[in-house]
Amino acid sequence: MRHPLNDTELHPIRVLVVDDEPAILDAYRELLCPATNAESEARKDSLEDLRARLFPRAGAPRAAPPAPPTRTRFRVEAASSAEAAVEAVRQAIASGAPFAVVFLDMRMPPGRDGAWAAAEIRAMDENVSICLCSAYSDVDTEELSARIPPEDKFFFLAKPFHPQEVRQMALALGHKWRAEQRIAQLAYYDSLTGLPNRAQFRDRMRACLENAQRHGKTMALLYIDLDNFKRINDTLGHTAGDELLRVVADRLRATVRKSDDFIHVNASRQRGNDCARLGGDEFMALLPEVMSPGEAGLIADRLIKALSQSVLLGETECTVTPSIGVAMYPQDGQDAESLLRHADLAMYAAKRAAPGTFVFYDEKMNAGAVAQLEMESRLRNAIANNELSLHYQPQFDLHTGRISSVEALLRWHSPELGLVPPLSFIPLAEATGLILSIGEWVLRAACHQAQRWLADGLPLGRIAVNVSPVQFAQKEFVELVAAVLADTGLPASSLELEITESLVMKDEAWAYQVTRRLKTLGVALAIDDFGTGYSSFGRLKDYPVDRLKIDKSFVTRPGGDSAEDSAIVAAMISMAKTMGLSVVAEGVEDFSQLLFLQEQHCELGQGFLLSSPLTSGEAEQFLRRMHDADGATDAERRSRLGS
C-alpha cells in the first residue's frame, strides 16, 4: 500500500551552491540531483574527471559511489560569485521559497569572499544553514562563528571533501530545516487558513514598527471582522464555515499582495506575512508602506469589495461582508498593543454604525471604551459596597383610584460617577453577566420590602420587578424566584414579574415553558414596554401573561398629542380586553392623557402625573396616606389622582 505523499516527496529541498569554478558547480548538481541512469552513463566519463578535481583524495582518483536510494529531492541553484549568491538569497526570500542550505566557497577572486556573503545572507535569513568551504587553513573559524550566529547553522567544510560528505550534510541540514519550518508553521500559523497567527503577527508588527520608527514612516493596521459569520456556521454547519474562512483568507492575501500595485511601493518584500487570522472570524492586515489614511482607506475599500463577493458553499451561494477598523501609525498608537486595540475599537464602531464598511480610529472611541471599562469595574463592586438601591413607583387603578401595584426601579449611586440611570448601566450589566447577581439582589430586596409593607397592612397591591432577558434565560430562574419567595415570606400572588416582548420572541419555546412554570408558582406576569418589540397579539394569547404595559412612548408624546398614537393606544386597550388581559398605560404625564385613558376604559396607569418613583421612605409615607384614606369613595380617590 502506498501512503499519501508527504512533503519530502512533493517539495525538493532548496540548496544554493556558490563557487567561481563552473565545473565544481556542475559536480555539486550531479551529486545532489543525480541524473537518470541513461543520462548518467552518457556523462559518466566527464563526471569522473570533475569529481576527481573537486574531491581528490590521497591515492588514486576513484569514482564517486552511486547516490543512495533516497526519496529526498534537492533543487539546486548555482551562483558563481559572493554578490550573485546574496542576490539569489534575496530573490528566494521574496518569492516565498527560501533556501535551506547554502554551500559557499571561501575564495572567489576577484570578487568578495564567502565570509562576506555568509554575513549578508545571515542578515536576510536566520533559518538557512551556511557551509563555508575552503581549501586553506587560514580561516579563523572561531571568529567567523562568533560573527555569523547561530552556531548550529554555520559550518566549515575543508576542501577537498568526500562526495558523500556534501550529500549527507545537505540531507541532514535540509531535513533539520524542514522540521524547524514545520514547528514554526504549527506555532506561528493558523492551521485552517495557513495565514500567520496572532503570535507571529505581533512579532511582525513589532518589526515593522521598529523600521517605521527608524525611517520616519507611516503605516496602517486593518482589523477585519466578518458580519454574521455565526449565521453561516449555525445554518450551513462548521465545514461550510471553515471553507468560507479559507476563501476569505485567500482573498485577503491576494488583495494585500496586490495593494503594492496601487500604492506604488517597493514590492520586493514578501507580503504573505502581512495578513493574519487572529481567531474565529477575525483577521488583520498590516500595511507597512502606506503613506496616508487616504491610501489605507483605498485598500480597506478594496478589501471590502473583495471579501463581499459571493462564495459557493456546497450548493448554497453565500455573501458575508466584513467590517473593518483602521488605526494609523504614528497618530493612533505608538506600539503594537495600542494599535491593535484601537483598530479593534474602530472595527466595533463600523459594525455598530453600518456593517460592511470601514471606520478610522478616533480618540473619542477610546475615551468611550475606557469609560465603559471603568464603569464595569465599579459596577462589579456596587452590591458589596451598598451602592444599589430601589425606588418604587406606584401604579393605579384608574377607576377606583387605588394602588394596584408598586414597581421596583433600580438605582445606582456610584461615589465616583454619581447617580447612574438604569438604562446606562443595565445593558453593560447584561453584556458582562453582572445582571445575574444584580437581578437577584433586586428580586430579594423588592420581595423583602413588599413583605414588610404588607405585614404592616399597607395597601401595596403587588410588587412589580423587572426581569432582564439574561436572567430569564437561566435554567434556574424559576427555582430562584421560588427560593426568594420562600426566604422572604412574600406570597407568590403579591409578586409580578415584568418581562419584555423581545425576550418572549427570542426563544418562544423556552419563554412558553418558563412563563407556564412561573404561573404555576402563582406569580403574575406583565409584558413590559409593549409595542416596542415585534410580538403580535396573536402570539401573545399563547402565553399565560396577565397584563400588558403599553410603552410610554405611545402614551407620552412630547409636544402634544398625536392622533395616530391615540388610535394605537385605543386599539391596544380594546384588543387586550378581548384577550382577557388587563392593560397598564406607562408614562402618564398630564391630565389630558389621563382623561383619554379613562375614556378608553384603560384599567391601570403609571406615570409622573400619578406619582414619580419614590425612595423607600417616601413610598412608605405615600402608602400610609393611601391607607389612611381608605374610607374614601372610588369617586373621591379618582378625583385625587394626579393632584
Stretch that binds Mg ion, among 203-211, 252-260, 261-269, 525-533 (CB under 5 A): 525-533
CA 37 to chain centre: 58
In Å, what is the CA distance from 620 to each residue of 157, 441, 475, 615?
Answer: 97, 20, 35, 8
Asked if residues 408 and 415 have their Cβ atoms less than 8 Å apart, the reply is no
Binding ligand C2E by CB under 6 A: which of 17, 528, 535, 597?
528
From the list 125, 496, 528, 603, which residue makes contact with Mg ion (rule: CB under 5 A)? Answer: 528
Q: CB under 5 to 8 A by kind: which of ligand C2E, Mg ion, none does 426 bind?
A: ligand C2E
Helix (H) or strand (E) holding 203: helix 198-215
Considering only 608, 616, 624, 627, the residue that binds ligand C2E (CB under 6 A) is 608
Residue 635 CB-half CA count within 13 A: 0
**Cis, peptide link before residue 330, omega less than 30° from 0:** yes
Identity of residue 571: A
Point out the residue whose Cβ comes nearest to ligand C2E: 607
Q: For 474-486, b where at least 16 C-beta lie within 10 A, e where not — what string?
A: eeebbebbbebbe
Secondary structure (DSSP) of 328-361: EETTT-SSHHHHHHHHHHHHHHHHHH-TT-EEE-
User: Residue 284's beta-bridge partner residues?
Assistant: 223, 276
The answer to the question of residue 496 lying near Mg ion (CB under 5 A) is: no
Cα dist from 593 to 530, 560, 561, 585, 637, whole Å:
18, 10, 8, 10, 18
From 35-43, 74-82, 540-548, 584-592, give the range in contact with ligand C2E by CB under 6 A: 584-592
Amino acid in position 242: D
> x/- site string to Mg ion, residues 433 to 472, per CB under 5 A?
---------------------------------x------
Residues in 50-109 that interact with ligand C2E by CB under 6 A: none
Kindly state whether residue 556 participates in binding ligand C2E, applying the rule CB under 6 A.
yes
CB of residue 190 vs Mg ion: minimum separation in angstroms? Answer: 46
Query: Minimum Å distance from CB 549 to Mg ion?
Result: 5
CB of 552 to ligand C2E, least distance (A): 5
Q: Applying CB under 6 A, does 420 fall inside the site for ligand C2E? A: no
C-alpha cell read off for 107 = 575564495
Nearest approach, Cβ of 513 to ligand C2E (angstroms)? 20
In whole angstroms, what is the distance from residue 470 CA to residue 503 CA?
Answer: 9
- The three-state secondary structure class of 589 is coil
Stretch that binds Mg ion, among 18-26, 101-109, 323-331, 585-593 (CB under 5 A): 585-593
When asked if residue 421 is in the footprint of ligand C2E (CB under 6 A), the reply is yes
Cis ω before 150 (30° cut-off from 0):
yes
In the complex, what is the shortest distance from the CB of residue 439 to ligand C2E, in angstroms, rounded to a whole number? 6
Per the listing, cell 426601579 goes with: 409
Task: Give the residue from 231, 226, 434, 499 showing the smallest Cα distance to 350.
Answer: 226
Select from 109, 79, 106, 60 the least CA-distant residue to 18.
79
Residue 50 binding partner per list ligand C2E, Mg ion, none, with a CB distance cut-off of 5 to 8 Å that depends on partner kind:
none
The 3-state secondary structure of 299-322, one letter per residue: HHHHHHHHHCCCEEECCEEECCCE
Picking from 156, 85, 153, the residue whose alpha carbon sits closest to that of residue 121 is: 85
Going residue by residue from 586 to 605, which x/- string records binding to ligand C2E, judged by CB under 6 A? xxxx----------------
Q: Which stretch binds Mg ion (CB under 5 A): 65-73, 75-83, 259-267, 520-528?
A: 520-528
The item of ligand C2E, Mg ion, none sharing an interface with residue 546, based on CB under 5 to 8 Å by kind, is: none
Check binding of 501 to Mg ion (CB under 5 A).
no
Chain centroid offset of residue 12 CA: 38
Which range touches ligand C2E (CB under 6 A), out of 99-107, 272-280, 416-424, 481-489? 416-424
Neighbours of 337 (CB within 10 A): 12
Stretch that binds ligand C2E, among 360-368, 369-377, 472-480, 583-591 (CB under 6 A): 583-591
Measured between alpha carbons, how far is residue 89 from residues 144, 148, 264, 495 in Å? 20, 16, 24, 78
Q: Does the protein bind ligand C2E through residue 531 (CB under 6 A)?
A: no
Q: What is the phi-psi region of residue 116: left when phi exceeds 0, alpha when psi lies from -120 to 50, beta otherwise? A: alpha
CB 458 within 8 A of CB 623: yes
Q: Which stretch binds Mg ion (CB under 5 A): 31-39, 55-63, 487-495, 586-594?
A: 586-594
Task: Give the per-residue contact string, 109-148, with ligand C2E (x = CB under 6 A; - = no).
Answer: ----------------------------------------
Beta-sheet pairing, 74-79 with 13-18: parallel
* Residue with Cβ nearer ligand C2E (263 or 480): 480
Site mask, ligand C2E, residues 241-280, x = CB under 6 A? ----------------------------------------
**585, 607, 614, 638: residue in contact with ligand C2E (rule CB under 6 A):** 607
- For residue 1, state whether it binds ligand C2E (rule: CB under 6 A): no
The least distance separating Mg ion from the CB of residue 529, rounded to whole angstroms, comes to: 4
Q: Identify which of residues 328 and 555 has a Cβ nearer to ligand C2E in the complex.
A: 555
- Please state, in angstroms and rounded to a whole number, the distance separating the CA atoms of residues 347 and 353: 10
Report d(CA 446, CA 443) in Å as an integer: 5
Out of 409, 454, 525, 550, point to the residue binding ligand C2E (CB under 6 A). Answer: 409
Task: Kindly state the helix (H) or strand (E) to which residue 17 belongs, with its residue range.
Answer: strand 13-18
Binding status of residue 449 toward ligand C2E by CB under 6 A: no
Size of the site for ligand C2E (CB under 6 A): 24
Residues 450-509 that bind ligand C2E (CB under 6 A): 466, 468, 498
Residues at the contact surface with Mg ion, assessed by CB under 5 A: 466, 498, 528-529, 586
Residues at the contact surface with ligand C2E, assessed by CB under 6 A: 393, 409-410, 421-423, 426, 439, 442, 466, 468, 498, 528-529, 552, 556, 586-589, 606-608, 613
